[in-house]
Amino acid sequence: MANQSMEDVLKLVHSYNNPPNRLRSVQEINARYLQTLENYKKICFMSGDVRDQKIAVHAEIKMLGWVLGKPEKDIIKDINDHSNRPNFPLQL
């Protein structure tokens, strides 16, 4: 460590103060969840081959929903509300 410059030491100290994998707050996770839902909506209305993007964003939405403790049916409802698929009324 004697050979490291002062700049390297400062970078190391800064990385310990702000780790990249720190725990996120519920507010941050919820904001990311809502942002990802909006991204899903944009992807659904894009033309072309976007299947891989839709699958990746769909998986991220589900994972964030699980982290937030949302029931599976609520996550699916949120995804369906933000897709371009028509919502047909429930027929009894």
Q: Is 92 a member of any domain?
A: no
In a domain? residue 18: no
Asked if residue 88 is part of any domain, the answer here is: no
d(CA 9, CA 26): 33
Is 14 within a domain?
no
**pLDDT string in tens for the chain (92-residue length):** 455 577 877 777 776 666 666 667 889 999 999 999 999 998 888 888 888 888 889 999 999 999 999 999 999 999 988 887 665 665 55
The domain total for the chain is 1
* Per-residue confidence (pLDDT) for residue 22, from 0 to 100: 65
Per-residue model confidence (pLDDT) at position 19: 61
Q: What is the 3-state composition of the chain as percent helix, strand, coil, each rounded to the nearest 5?
A: 65, 0, 35
Instruction: Say which amino acid occupies 34.
Output: L
- Structural domain of 60: 24-81
